[in-house]
Amino acid sequence: INECDNNPCHANATCGNTLGSYDCVCKTGFSGGGHNFCNDDDECTLGTDNCHVNASCQNKPGSFSCVCLPGFVGNGVSCQYDKECARTICHQHAICIDTIGSFRCECNEGFTGDGILSCQ
């Protein structure tokens, strides 16, 4: 007889048939007795996530995800500073200055303007 046939465990647990009995073990990302409850482990609050220092952790049932903060790019486990100036075209008489999450264009010395459309 397989005692697991009746699904005696919680929905977030796996059943292991044993001789004349069964064991319920919560799935990865959940904790509890396995029979009546398996609560979601909030890896973000517990600090068991592997998110980069420049990423935010977002809890999900049984898991989590990492998202790079504004101004950074990557998969959340690895986040690099987003070099905006590499994609930005300032005016020909201006320089681009990277800032966290943004950039600014400044006209060269002797020129005035917004640095993007005009430097006179």
C-beta separation of 39 from 31 below 8 A: yes
Q: Residue 102's pLDDT is what?
A: 81
Q: What are the strands, taking DSSP E only, across 5-93?
A: 13-18, 21-26, 30-31, 39-40, 55-60, 63-68, 72-74, 79-81
CATH topology of domain 1-40: Laminin (2.10.25)
Q: Looking at the structure, give the CATH architecture of the domain made up of residues 41-81.
A: Ribbon (2.10)
How far is residue 51's CA from residue 76's CA, in Å, rounded to a whole number?
A: 6
Top-level class of domain 83-119: mainly beta
Size of the chain, expressed as the number of residues it contains: 120
Query: Taking the model in full, what pTM does it have?
Result: 0.62
Domains 41-81 and 83-119 belong to one CATH topology: yes
Q: Hey, where are the domains in the chain?
A: 1-40, 41-81, 83-119
When pLDDT is cut at 50, 70 and 90, the band that residue 48 belongs to is very high
Residues contacting residue 34 through CB under 8 Å, at least 6 positions apart? 9, 10, 13, 23, 24, 25, 26
Give 50-68 pLDDT, tens digit per residue.
999 999 999 999 999 999 9
Q: Which amino acid is it at 9?
A: C
Predicted pLDDT at 69: 92
Model confidence over 60-119: pLDDT tens digits?
A: 999 999 999 987 889 999 998 877 787 778 999 999 988 877 889 999 999 999 999 999
CA distance 36 to 24: 9
